[in-house]
Amino acid sequence: MSTETPETHEFNKGRSRALEKSDLFAHAEDPVNKGMTVQEKLKCFTDMVRIRKFEQAALQSYQKGKMGGFLHLYIGQEATAVGTVSVLGENDHIITAYRDHGHALAVGMGMNECMAELYGKFTGCSKGKGGSMHYFAPEKRFWGGHGIVAGQTPLGAGLAYALKYKGIKGCAICYLGDGAINQGVFHESLNLVSLWDIPVIYVIENNGYSMGTSQVRSSAFPEEGLAARATSYNIDFDTVHGENLYEVRAKTSKAVQRAYEQSRPTVLEIFTYRYYGHSIADANHQRYRTKEEIRHYQENKDPINVWEQILIEEGHLNVDKVKEIDQAAKAEAKEAVQFAEESPFPPPQQLLADVYHSVDNPGTHTNEGEIFFNDRLPY
Ligand SMILES: Cc1ncc(C[n+]2csc(CCOP(=O)(O)OP(=O)(O)O)c2C)c(N)n1
Ligand SMILES: [Mg+2]
């Protein structure tokens, strides 16, 4: 069977027409964007550049054989993590799948702890025992980093349920891929969060592919998109052009307000694209999509370039400043590589630690099922 999938390309072309100037500013006047300070706008730009430079450095190290395991790159999708996280408040939580580097840096995790984790070092955010797919920072309300496709979707419902149960005004964003939407557990989650009015936002990061299978070949969907499946559960939904940070923020913010004010869930489908293969092991990714398709996204829909263009138009950025931000991020990533290389591996006696909370903390077991959360949340 040919691995060429012309229908994929057609689909992607359909949703990926080159942007016009009016597209760039279509959501600039949304209250959440109008109220942005210059500093906040530049922070979003810097955060996206940092994610990209971090991953480019990680890729180099991987190719030099410095790390093992999986490495799923987020390059091309940066505005989704940065845009969605940038509208969240102090009681909001996030959880995602294995393509998690972007979300981790967006919530403020450091490059050092993230790079060291890739190297399997004890200074990593999961003490070197999680690797690329299992970044965690509970104190930043980031709950991982999950390898089972859609496995995070009931957990996301649980995070939001806890907020409601405790009477806290907040929400949880649960990210999932386009390949995860056909998993039964996602549908069970949708049913419950609607039935019980749970303030969760499911963000489908539709990058067009589930490993080597295009989205059009794997999922039935109506004209309105994958997110329209939410209507079966009486849940509001929207679609988002993921290359435009203004649009990501505007539509996420609407969903956050719905969660805060009505304790209702939302499904958002964010159209995006990954430039690299599914993981670094996917060396054949140019056999299930064309070079032209990849180039089309890089040239016309790159989230960093689009935001750069917007900020230059608005007078907040110029070529020199872009260079400066770029170089600083590159230097930060280089230092993180050095930190990771110089860090120790976990001692063998730590192998079984951090697997079960009740094993590490004997005597704390109760039937309430809340131990882990109770001593980590500030409320
Ligand atoms: C339950 C389960 N089935 C299969 C796999 C193997 N697998 C890992 S990633 C993946 C593709 C998921 O694609 P998508 O949800 O679109 O996320 P993306 O990789 O594009 O971010 C599959 C099938 C898995 N990890 N878990
Ligand atoms: Mg996908």
Radius of gyration of the chain (CA): 20
pLDDT, residue 363, reads 73
Centre of ligand 1 to C-alpha 271, Å, is: 17
| CA nearest neighbour of 377 among 131, 168, 98 | 168
Whole-number average pLDDT of the chain: 91
Which residue minimizes the CA distance to atom 4 of ligand 1?
149
Banded model confidence at residue 5, pLDDT cuts 50, 70, 90: very low
For ligand 1, whether the C-beta of 177 sits within 6 Å is: yes
Q: For the chain, where are the alpha helices, taking DSSP H only?
A: 6-15, 21-24, 31-34, 38-63, 78-85, 101-106, 111-118, 152-165, 184-195, 215-218, 245-262, 291-300, 303-313, 319-342, 357-360, 371-374
Pocket test for ligand 1, best of 210, 273, 279 (most atoms within 8 A of CB): 210
Query: What is the rounded CA–CA span in Å between residue 49 and residue 85?
Result: 15
DSSP SS3 for 353: coil
Atom from ligand 1 closest to the CA of residue 99: 21
Report residue 285's pLDDT band, with 50, 70 and 90 as the boundaries: confident
- Per-residue pLDDT of 38-64, as tens digits, reads 999 999 999 999 999 999 999 999 999
Q: Where are the domains of the chain?
A: 6-346
CATH number for the segment(s) 6-346? 3.40.50.970
C-alpha dist (Å) from residue 273 to 47, 76, 277, 289: 18, 6, 11, 12
pLDDT per position as a tens digit, 259-268: 999 999 999 9
- Asked if residue 277 has its Cβ within 6 Å of ligand 1, the reply is no
Q: Are 235 and 193 in contact (CB under 8 A)?
A: yes
- Taking only the tens place, the pLDDT of each residue in 19-40 is 778 889 999 999 999 999 999 9
What is the model's pLDDT at position 377? 58
